[in-house]
A and B are shown apart, each in its own frame.
Chain A
Amino acid sequence: MNNKEESLKSLSECVVEMEDEKIISIAEEYIKAGYPAFDGILYGLVDGMNKAADLYENEEYFIPELLICSDAMYNGLNVLRPYLKKTDFSQKAKVVIGVVEGDTHDIGKNLVKIMLETAGYELIDLGRDVPAGSFVDTVKNTGASVVALATLMSTSTNNMKRVIDLLKEEGLRGNVKVVVGGGPISPAFAKKIGADGYSESAVEAVKLVNSLVDA
């Protein structure tokens, strides 16, 4: 059996190199060798996903590659997660995420979800074509402190504003930070509809949410 360092490196490499099947046995061996699940996730899987994100930023990877890297990460996570100790994770804020009503394009949203989960946030994914009221109800029911809205369709951008307006009407706007993103969205649009932030990519979204939650 490899030593711990080598095992972590293999986990990371499986994520970067899109080995979404091989990673399962590597993760099982890692646990069998008695190494802590927490380290495997953080220094193996998350390390790999961060490296994949760097390759994406540098335009060496594109979305198909990133999706298979994330499949590998999740497959590894499924093996390691049951072995986590309760004290291992101090969960960060809850984030409600979804594609607004009128649009079913959810790749961007899924990437943001993956990156935020990788960064330790608890994600509540409402899926796609989500009516404004569902975002507001979910904030009410879960006490989430961040709402992340996405759309690829220029015709759906106004539904982002509806979510923000409805949060205001329900007196919840002060409790949550709202971030928006997607093809037709610009920083100017985000500002105009009263969002707290805009990010251009999934990697930037993590930095944005970190800065808003820490503030």
Chain B
Amino acid sequence: MKQKMTQKLRLSAAAKKQPVDRPPCICPGGMMNMMFADIMEQAGCLWPETHNDAKKMAELAYALNQADGFENYGVPFCMTVEAEAMGATVNMGNRLCEPHVVESLLTSCVQIEKIKPLDLQTGRVATVLDAITILKGKNPAVPIIGNLTGPISVAGTLLDMSLLLREFRKFPADAQRYLDIICDNLIVFGKAQIEAGADAICISEPSGTGEILGPQNFANFTVNCLNKILDELNVSVKIVHICGRLKSVYDIIPQIHCDAFSFDAVVPIAEIKKHVTTHAVMGNISTFALGSMQPEKIASLVSGALTQGVDIVAPACGLSTTTPLVNVQTMVDVTRTI
């Protein structure tokens, strides 16, 4: 297939391991942050105000794609929308610092009555949905990626992660009930993003990883929760990102009901391809390199990833906000010229 595809068709074909003219080069957004100071200044949409302003949020996502940046729109630009909507207290950060949760809501997973049901009409949940609606009116050839923070990561934010990990072990049934409520809320948000116009949903799980939980908990909690959510989402592209080393869970990853699987820079593409044959593999250009190295180095990293057979080129774990625009443009450019 040599005929030029649109960015949207290319992403959905690549995610399904169907023939493409060349791999897409994307960055989903959400936990996999795609925004940096260069582009905020260029677009005149600065953090932190942009996080609360649907128009600016859409404008910033649009500006990056227009600047020969990533081949998608993606919102939001942080991983705190869901936790805030369920009751956690968030510090909105600043120009260079992402919003982050500063106060957990619970002290044990038995306190499920404290969790607020996610309301689609208010706060930043509504902002994200409005931003997707606005982006839907922009270039229809560009895929819109909606984002969900992974269920274990949300659970480990509403309740301090180290307490949650203890309760996984000590009170697994209570932990499961707690996770079910979080999954239900995430399903509501995911469905609403699709209804607003998202062409793809990416769920990023920085905390519920095999490296942190170990293989048994990863399968019992992370994979079960992810699948519960993924099965409810009717959208053409489903992406899951799991942070950290994967050695202990390579054989569990194929059980995740997503199309594309994204992973960290510490995981070799060749290793993943050996174990995950059913899914498109996505990644894993070093976030650190993108933030700090020269464009020539970026070009060689991207070429290397393509040679190893990555299906979708993306930063390994989002971007640092001090990433130079030229590095992102180089990344896209190398993908385009193969």
Q: Which residues, 277 to 324 on B, are CB-close (under 8 Å) to A?
A: 287-288, 291-292, 317-322
B2 interface contact, C-beta 8 A: no
B112 interface contact, C-beta 8 A: no
B140 interface contact, C-beta 8 A: no
A153 to B318, CA, bound (A): 10
- The residue that B212 contacts in the complex, of A68, A104, A107, A129, with Cβ under 8 A, is A107
A67 interface contact, C-beta 8 A: yes
Q: Which residues, 24 to 76 on A, are CB-close (under 8 Å) to B?
A: 59, 61-65, 67-68, 71
Question: Across the two chains, which residue of chain A brings its CB closest to B320?
Answer: A154
Which of chain B's residues have a CB closer than 8 A to the CB of A158?
Answer: 96, 320-322
A126 to chain B: closest CB distance in Å? 14
Which of chain B's residues have a CB closer than 8 A to the CB of A94?
Answer: none
Which of chain A's residues have a CB closer than 8 A to the CB of B212?
Answer: 62-63, 107
A110 to B163, CA, bound (A): 12
Stretch at the interface among A78-86, A140-148, A184-192, A203-211: A184-192
Question: Across the two chains, which residue of chain A brings its CB closest to B160?
Answer: A106
Q: Are A101 and B97 in contact (CB under 8 A)?
A: yes
Which of chain A's residues have a CB closer than 8 A to the CB of B292?
Answer: 189, 192
How many A residues touch the partner, as a band?
20 to 34
Q: Are B206 and A68 in contact (CB under 8 A)?
A: no
Question: Tally of A-B residue pairs with Cβ under 8 A?
Answer: 96
A165 interface contact, C-beta 8 A: no
Which of chain B's residues have a CB closer than 8 A to the CB of A4?
Answer: none
A62 to B320, CA, bound (A): 28
Stretch at the interface among B62-70, B164-172, B196-204: B164-172
Q: Are B287 and A184 in contact (CB under 8 A)?
A: yes
Q: Are A155 and B162 in contact (CB under 8 A)?
A: no
Q: Are B162 and A102 in contact (CB under 8 A)?
A: no
A61 to B211, CA, bound (A): 10
Q: Are B162 and A156 in contact (CB under 8 A)?
A: no
Question: Across the two chains, which residue of chain A brings its CB closest to B169?
Answer: A64
Q: Which residues, 212 to 265 on B, are CB-close (under 8 Å) to A?
A: 212-214, 217, 243-244, 247-248, 264
The proximity string for B residues 49-72 relative to A, scoring 1 for CB distances below 8 Å and 0 otherwise, is 000000000000000000000000
Quick one: given A64-B214, A67-B166, are A155 and B288 in contact (CB under 8 Å)?
A: no
Q: Are A107 and B166 in contact (CB under 8 A)?
A: no
Which of chain B's residues have a CB closer than 8 A to the CB of A194?
Answer: none
Quick one: given A62-B214, A129-B91, are A102 and B100 in contact (CB under 8 Å)?
A: yes
Quick one: given A62-B214, A101-B97, are A189 and B288 in contact (CB under 8 Å)?
A: yes
B173 interface contact, C-beta 8 A: no
A186 to B264, CA, bound (A): 13
Q: Are B161 and A105 in contact (CB under 8 A)?
A: yes
A152 to B153, CA, bound (A): 12
Which of chain B's residues have a CB closer than 8 A to the CB of A192?
Answer: 292
Query: What are 24 of the A-B contact pairs (CB < 8 Å)?
Result: A59-B247, A61-B214, A62-B211, A62-B212, A64-B165, A64-B166, A64-B168, A68-B169, A68-B170, A71-B166, A101-B97, A102-B93, A107-B165, A110-B162, A129-B100, A154-B288, A154-B319, A155-B33, A155-B320, A157-B288, A157-B320, A158-B320, A188-B288, A192-B292
Residues of A within 8 A of B (CB): 18, 59, 61-65, 67-68, 71, 101-107, 110, 129, 152-159, 183-184, 186, 188-189, 192
